[in-house]
Amino acid sequence: MTTDITKTAATPAGDDASRTPLIRWIVTAGGLATVASTFTAWTYTDAFPGDLTVYGYPGGLQILTLVAGALVVLYGLASLGIKGLGWLAPTGTTKALWFFALGAFATTWFTTVAIAWQLGGLANLEPGAFAAAVASAVPLAAFALPDDTHKAKRPRELPSWAEILLIVAAFAVGMYVITYGIDTEYSELFTGYLITVGFAVAGLIKAGLTARLSGLTSKYRQVTVIAAFAAAIAFPFTQNTDTYTLIAVNILIFATVALGLNIVVGLAGLLDLGYVAFLGVGAYTAALVSGSTASAFDVQFPFWASVLTGAVVSLIFGVIIGAPTLRLRGDYLAIVTLGFGEIFRIAMGNLDGVSGPRITNGPNGVPNIPDLEFFGYNFGESHTVFGIELGAYANYYLLMLVAMALVIIVFSRAGSSRIGRAWVAIREDETAATAMGINGFRVKLIAFALGATLAGLAGTVQAHVQHTVVPEMYQFAGPVPPNSAFLLAAVILGGMGTVTGPLLGATLLYMIPAKLQFLQDYQLLGFGIALILLMRFRPEGLIANRRAQLEYHENDQLDVPDKGLTGSGVGITKAGA
């Protein structure tokens, strides 16, 4: 007689099966209680930002708790088999509930602890805060649920217009979430925002909803691109002032440069630790030819000419630096590029008329850079578009969107071209690629020069946005991005070899220091810890390249059932890692 002791987590037996519906109801009820608690007062004083003293409607961090609790309720109902909610979790609800429950708990307890810490004790908490803390702990019962993860079924075919509407709606929600984060007014709210969004995104991934959306975007690529840029273009029209638009402009500059570095590091596999120098070359070039009163050259190029000049000079520097150094590999190349970055910064500080020719004004840099003007459109002035007044930084934001679109096109075309495949071959194994007839030096020099050109293009706009350039802006590691360390971290964090990865990485690495001022002195420590954790748990990055994902997780497969114990009359199935 053969006994099968195979047991799957998705099909519990006995008492476990009878308790599962009860646990799901408890989790859902806890989510409802968490939502209800946000309509009570959590503190009696408005000294804590966000005004959490009002009964009847949530404010500040309570809104984030409400969102997290609502997700628990929604997926709790889906786990109970409520008709019409099955589409929310194509691959199962349990793991999604784990993350949503953690998000509600973490956001609520962060808020209550922050109130007690800032105001000086638990006496500053109203009963509503204690009720919220208890209610948010109840959904953690989801960890007692059996794992119901399964392969997603083929989705029901929808009309094309309905699928397109889903894509548009997804981008609209995504743009609202990003705008909410940029517009946060105080560090406590931004911290809670990071907690809530982080757990919510993880939950949606585990539920399989993001994978299903990804399938739709792959099916309608043109619609996806149009929707993405339409959502991005809408951002400045949602702002009343330029305060947060300036943050968005700097994020776009940072992200554009990170995409250029992604060609060098992500596609060609060249570790460049001095990449920010090419951004500086473009910025200094634009500053010197744009009519600044502090420029050593009495010239004022038009907009298009200054942009082209900055890009071409960066290209030339990329070839000059790359030609003698790209014959090196690995750590040696990294050390040489790091030296180039420092040489550039020191050289710009010495061209002051004392230590060297008077070109860059040394440590004082080149100030008073005029605003760009294109066909009579002055980017430094406010303009009314569709009845909405756009400030100066909104103009530069839209300009950087155009620049980013150009960089994305170049990256995508180059990556899928013959030269792009050669870059990947060089990255994987340069010796084998050379043996197959690829000219490794020429291919690497093209990547280096192209990356330098894209960085110089972004630098020309940065010079006019900042209205000044100084050597300290282009360090290997400094308090304010972009610098070489942050650029490299953005590429690795987001996902090397992808388009959206560096964009996400750059956004996170710029917004976090900009919003959390108290972390200024501990940025590198924090990002170092984050990179260590990333390498351990998700080495392919937040948005993984398919090839990298397969390489890093090649052993994450189900083991073949063990046939060596059949003689005992027992069939055993082993689950892989």
- Mean predicted confidence (pLDDT) in 230-234: 86
pLDDT tens for residues 269-324? 888 888 888 998 998 998 888 877 777 777 888 888 888 998 999 999 889 888 88
d(CA 17, CA 339): 64
pLDDT at position 553: 56
pLDDT at 381: 76
Whole-number Å distance between alpha carbons of 275 and 264? 9
- Extract the tokens encoding 16: 């476990």
pLDDT digits (tens, 9 = 90+) for 132-152: 999 999 999 999 988 888 888
CB 258 within 8 A of CB 506: yes
- Greater model confidence, 228 or 18: 228
431-479: pLDDT as tens digits: 888 888 888 888 889 988 998 998 898 888 888 888 888 888 888 776 6
Residue 12, SS3 per DSSP: coil
More confident residue, 185 or 577: 185
**From CA 450, how far away is CA 448, in angstroms rounded?**
6
Averaged pLDDT, 166-171? 88
CA-to-CA dists, residue 79 to 27, 85, 205, 562, angstroms = 10, 9, 16, 33
Q: 448 and 264 in contact (C-beta within 8 Å)?
A: yes
Taking residues 502-527, what's their average pLDDT? 76
pLDDT band with cut points at 50, 70 and 90 for residue 332: confident
554: which residues sit within 8 A by CB, 6+ positions away?
none
Flag whether pLDDT at 576 surpasses 80. no
Grade residue 105 by pLDDT with cuts at 50, 70 and 90.
very high
pLDDT of residue 156 exceeding 60: yes
The pLDDT of residue 214 is above 70: yes
SS3 125: strand
Question: What pLDDT does 570 receive?
Answer: 39
- List Cβ<8 Å contacts ≥24 apart for 188-191: 188/48, 188/49, 188/50, 188/60, 188/61, 188/111, 188/114, 189/49, 189/50, 189/60, 189/61, 189/64, 190/511, 190/515, 190/516, 191/110, 191/516
> Around Cβ 14, how many Cβ atoms within 10 Å?
7
Give the least confident one: 344-348, 483-487, 518-522: 518-522
Count CB atoms within 10 A of the CB of residue 302. Answer: 14
Q: Do residues 124 and 43 touch, judged by C-beta distance below 8 A? A: yes
pLDDT of residue 565: 40
| pLDDT-based confidence at residue 196 (cuts at 50, 70, 90) | very high
pLDDT of 572 above 60: no
pLDDT, tens digit, for every residue of 518-570? Answer: 666 676 677 777 778 777 777 777 776 666 556 655 555 444 444 444 334 33
For the record, the structure tokens of 56 come out as 């009847």
Identify the pLDDT of residue 552. Answer: 56
Compute the 3-state secondary structure of the chain and give helix, strand, coil in percent, each to the nearest 5.
Answer: 65, 5, 30
Give the chain's mean pLDDT.
82
pLDDT higher at 291 or 193:
193
Please check the confidence at residue 217 and state whether its pLDDT lies above 80.
Answer: yes
d(CA 8, CA 334): 49
3-state secondary structure of 148: coil
> Which of 60-69, 296-305, 362-371 is modeled with the greatest confidence?
60-69
Whether residue 266 contacts residue 415, with contact meaning beta carbons closer than 8 Å, is answered with: no
Mean pLDDT across 379-399: 79
Q: What is the pLDDT of residue 577?
A: 35
Report whether pLDDT(571) > 70.
Answer: no
Q: Which residues contact 379 (CB under 8 A, 6 or more apart)?
A: 371, 372, 373, 392, 395, 396, 399, 464
Beta-sheet pairing, 570-571 with 377-378: unpaired
DSSP 154: P
State the pairing for strand pair 570-571/388-390: unpaired
Question: Rounded mean pLDDT of 251-255?
Answer: 88
Residue 235 Cα distances to 247, 277, 387, 509, angstroms = 12, 30, 15, 20
Interatomic CA distance for residues 577 and 575, integer angstroms: 7
Report the pLDDT averaged over residues 229-233: 86
Whole-angstrom distance, CA of residue 127 vs CA of residue 124: 10
CB atoms closer than 10 angstroms to residue 569 = 9
Cα–Cα distance for residue pair 86/78, rounded to 1 Å = 6
Helix (H) or strand (E) holding 575: none
Q: State residue 554's pLDDT score.
A: 57
Cα separations (Å) of 247 from 164, 254, 364? 31, 10, 24
Give residue 546's pLDDT.
66
pLDDT tens by residue, 5-46: 334 444 444 455 567 889 999 999 999 999 999 999 999 888
Comparing C-alpha atoms, which of 117, 119, 133, 111 is closest to residue 46? Answer: 119
pLDDT mean over 392-397: 85
CA separation for the pair 297, 285 (Å, rounded): 11
Looking only at the bridges linking them, the beta strands covering 3-4 and 570-571 are: parallel
Average the pLDDT over 354-363 and give the result.
80
